[in-house]
A and B are shown apart, each in its own frame.
Chain A
Amino acid sequence: MPRFPSLRPIAFSLMAMALGAAHAGTVTVVTSFPKELTDAYKKAFEAANPATKIEVLNKNTTASIAYIKELPAGQRPDVMWASAPDAFEVLARDKLLTAAPEVKNPHTPARIGNYPINDPQGLYYGQALAGYGIMWNTRYLAANKLPVPKEWSDLARPEYFGHVAISSPSRSGTTHLTVETMLQGEGWDKGWTQLLEIMGNCAAVTDRSFGVPDGVNSGQYGIGMVIDFFGLAGKYSGFPVEFAYPSVTAVVPANIGLVTGAKNADEAKKFIAFTLSKDGQQLLFDPKISRLPVLPYADLKVPAGYPDIQAVAKKAKVQFDSELSESRYQVVVSLFDQMVTFRLKELQAATKAIHEADKKIKAKAGGAANAQAAELLKQARGFAYAPLVGQDNVKNEQFLELFRKNRRDVAVSKQLTGQEELWANKAKSNYAKATELAGQAAALVK
């Protein structure tokens, strides 16, 4: 019978010849960390342990979790290594992490500030520290004649309109921590007002955390709200950027953990222990990596001018409360997306109108008309920058519970989408109202 030739025999022979299975003595590490970092650890570890090979699998945090979850025990990678603490929480909840207390380095302090460096349940371990702050492009600021910002509140000033960038907290665990830090540092209501004022000045809310430092490095954005090593690595790689910690910051660890059902648990533990050891920690000072070790600086050779994270943590105003953060995680990210990420254009328009009215009023102080204009402007700010969920609501267990329920339940999903729809509409109409009021205020000024 005449038939189409089949590719199958070819495919089979190719399969047979090209498949090099992972042999014994290989430790597979799933990580969201960049290649320079993983390459440095791979080289150093393999040099010290020639019998063991490190195979690095780089995936973003979401893909890493899906990958580990979908594989059967025994075929999973051995080590998970990433920044976002929530990723480890998810894995721990699904019983995909195994405790390995013997890997811990006794020199590692128990806490940084008020935050425990290792997971209290012992399922994952702090491997490097990170604080949050502001990075800026010096050429960009010079070209636009902008002063250097020092505190988060500076970023709300009119001169920074359209120059700031952040990534969305629902996408980036590190940004969520930044946002949560501000909310804990300033209090819920005041924190949101300040956050929304800054967001009104944002040029973009990026999808990836790395989108922000990348944009600042290349000069697309002037100022970014980022995790410290993004700013420091840019600076030490020669880009015209600087980084500083504002006083409202929190220092939290990036983590490493042993995956349950790993192929090669013994050697995996050796690798984890190496990353926590003195030699492993010293690698973090490489200019391309520029991360902050968990070991005290006294144990290590620290390059000159390197930020002293312990001092930053001591000075930091916020004692980060991870339980509070965890309990309202869904509310914060969902509210942020509905009020900022999906409504950025409207928020920008309102902020622009408010800045313009404010400028006019300040230029011509005094007079009854101006007093009225100032009142209108105050109302406009009230509409634009008030959080849609009040302080009391976010402490209400019933309200929080709704966001933790299973979204597959149609009724729950209906309630949730109803809530989100409410926020979305309210935000949109509030921003429109604020724009209108600010416009009226500007028109009143003679």
Chain B
Amino acid sequence: MAADAPARAAAPRFRKAGAGWGAWTVAAAVAAFLLVFLLVPVGLVIFTAFVDETGGLTLGHFANFFDQSIFRESFFNSLIVSLGSVFFASLIAVPLAYLTVRFEFRGALLIQTLGVLPLIMPPFVGAVALQLIFGRNGSVNLLLDEHFGFKVPIMDGLIGVTFVESIHYFPFILLNLVASMRNIDGAMEESALNLGAKGFRLFRRIIFPLAMPGFLAGAALVFVKVFDDLGTPLVMGVTNMLAPQAYLRITSVGIDDPLGYVTSVLMIAFSIFALWMAGRVTKNRDYATLQKGGGSLQRRRLNGWESLLAYGWIGLVLFVVLAPHLGILLMSFAKVWSFSVLPDAYTLDHYANVFENSQQMIGNTLLYCVLAAGLDVLIGTAIAWLILRTTLPARRWLDYLASIALAIPGLVLAIGYLRLFKGVDLPFTDTPVVTSWVLIMLAYAVRRLPYALRACMAALQQVHVSLEEAAQSLGATRWRTVRRVMVPLMAGGMLAGFVTSFITAAVELSATLLLTSSESNAPMSYGIYLYMQSVSGRGPGAALGVLAVVVVGVGTWASHHFAERTRTPERAAS
């Protein structure tokens, strides 16, 4: 490789890495991974949508699908809820990101960490806790009814789903936007200031447009995630949306209805279309800026009433988005909590129960999620590099393929794994693959890969290629350039990807349920589900939920802290 470098330096304009055999190898490895752990297993399952009872190919099921008005209605409901959620999630996330990145703000780190917590809404407990706070007879409505004589039905129907999805998924936008605002070159802002742009105009014309890749990456994730989300509509009793329709048809006892799989196929297709659209918007623009470093955007002080307003707004937002966690916390200490603003009495028994019975689950969750998120960042960076820095043909397809995972119901992926790896033993052991935890970890990695991928893509888009050109002109090999220049410069985005993958994997449930083959292999989400199936399990379930939130929250805080510290020397140097 070193021999290439002088030739390249001599070229009039830096050639992209081209389609060298290094690039081919990386592409082949990524493609093989996606093929074995995503496409083939899923194909084995959704094949059902395309065959009739004799095994012949047919598109008849699709025709039947479009004849049903309930599906058309479901499609539009899903679309409306997804767009609504993107809008409200942006309303929450953009001010939070802007305020904490751009201003001298006490507790900015704390706010950014707290702002991520909603993603760690453990399954079932989160929804139950939200019902206890905002539900028709939740604390807020009981108080309103007592003092003002009315209730706010915010947890009903499509509005309720939009509300819950917005406060659940806005961190996708927050995380990506913060990462990308930190990457903006301070010189851009200074030039704008010199030319007289100030305040909102500066934000609207300079900062927000430059942070666009991050915002779009987040918004596309929110859209697709909400479009495919199953748990929230189901728990809230809304069935007229696509994901619940597919689920209800696939999982009813004893039926194997092809229309369920048709719905899955259409959801996958539409999600890819949405991501493709988001990709198109940023495709032909240049977001890269030359200078890097967290300190490069100026941080300003807020004056008296401004900071009052800012803190007030942040306080309100945090109260709403953290309400589920408050609810879980109360539940975990509550003896009986029924039709009252607060629980009747408190106890520590639930925690004692959990510590006695479920310690191993905490360790399992950490192990699986760290491995899965690490794998995700590795593959995400590889794909981002292939797409943005090489000219391999059809390289964008790696992105589209990996993104399919967003739209695959966990249940479908899990059934696919069980079918594909039936009878296969782990290398060097007698243990069947299907009963090992490796499959759980891989399912997490595949399902959460799109998050890390979006973050890595956004990060690399913001690194100007001339920095790498400079390194190569100075004689660095391509691998060394990647390792010493590209990766450090996109570290913030990679970290955001790691964190998102890690924390969302920690609360994954649908694939976990099917792939968990023994209690010693079970992660926390499985334990929470288990507890939440019975009356006396609510307290311990909530306690385990709190522990999950604490463990993942500490992990997130630590990685932010780490990111801040690695940033400091750069600032001093610049």
Chain A interface residues toward B at CB < 8 A:
1-4, 6-7, 11-12, 14-16, 18-22, 28, 32, 34-37, 55-63, 65-67, 70-72, 75, 84, 86-87, 89-90, 137, 139-140, 143, 170-171, 173, 203-207, 210-211, 213-215, 217-220, 230, 233-234, 237-241, 288, 330, 333, 337-338, 341-342, 344-345, 406-414, 417-418, 420-421, 424-425
Contacts and interface: CB of A to CB of B under 8 A. Distances in A.
B427 A12 contact: yes
B136 A57 contact: no
11 contacts: A7-B374, A15-B426, A65-B253, A66-B415, A171-B252, A207-B239, A217-B338, A342-B240, A407-B258, A408-B256, A414-B67
A408 B51 contact: yes
Interface in B4-60: 22, 25-26, 29, 48, 51-53, 58, 60
Nearest to B138: A220
B488 interface: no
A207 B234 contact: yes
Contacts of B26: 4
Contact of B252 (A143, A214, A333): A333
A411 B520 CA distance: 47
A58 B526 CA distance: 9
Interface string B326-341: 0000000001111110
Interface string B150-161: 000000010000
Nearest to A235: B535
Given A7-B375, A413-B258, A413-B259, A220 B137 contact: yes
Shortest beta-carbon contacts, A-B, top 9: A219-B339, A2-B479, A410-B60, A34-B534, A70-B418, A408-B53, A409-B53, A139-B339, A204-B237
Contact of A28 (B137, B411, B518): B518
B536 A15 contact: no
A407 B199 CA distance: 62
B429 A19 contact: yes
B298 interface: no
Given A137-B339, A238-B335, A16 B429 contact: yes
Interface string B515-535: 011111000000000111111
A410 B52 contact: yes
B131 A63 contact: no
Interface of B: 1, 22, 25-26, 29, 48, 51-53, 58, 60-61, 63-65, 67-70, 128, 131-132, 135-138, 157, 234-235, 237, 239-240, 244, 248, 251-259, 335-340, 367, 371, 374-375, 378, 382, 411, 415, 418-419, 422-423, 426-432, 434-438, 477-480, 513-514, 516-520, 530-538
Interface of chain B: mostly helix, strand, loop or mixed:
helix
B22 A240 contact: no
A402 B75 CA distance: 28
Contacts of B432: 75
Contacts of B438: 11, 15
Contact of A2 (B136, B434, B478, B534): B478
A203 B136 contact: yes
Contacts of A90: 253-254
A425 B545 CA distance: 43
A399 to B, nearest CB: 18
A238 B336 CA distance: 7
B536 A288 contact: yes
B336 A239 contact: yes
Contact of B530 (A11, A19, A58, A139): A58
A420 B259 CA distance: 12
Contacts of B428: 12, 15-16
Nearest to B58: A410
Contact of A407 (B234, B257, B411, B431): B257
Nearest to A414: B64
A58 B244 CA distance: 23
B119 to A, nearest CB: 23
B382 A4 contact: yes
Contacts of B252: 62, 170-171, 333
A20 B520 contact: yes
Contacts of A424: 68-70
Given A20-B520, A36-B536, A407 B256 contact: yes
A170 B371 CA distance: 38
Contact of B533 (A34, A140, A215): A34
A425 B431 contact: no
B354 to A, nearest CB: 11
A93 B536 CA distance: 35
Contact of A237 (B64, B253, B419, B535): B535
A204 B60 CA distance: 34
B247 to A, nearest CB: 9
Given A2-B1, A421-B69, 5 more contacts: A2-B477, A58-B530, A70-B415, A71-B418, A414-B63
A59 B533 CA distance: 10
A220 B131 contact: yes
Given A56-B519, A70-B422, A233 B535 contact: yes
B256 A67 contact: no
A327 to B, nearest CB: 14
B537 A71 contact: no
A14 to B, nearest CB: 8
Contacts of B68: 417, 420-421, 424
Nearest to B422: A72
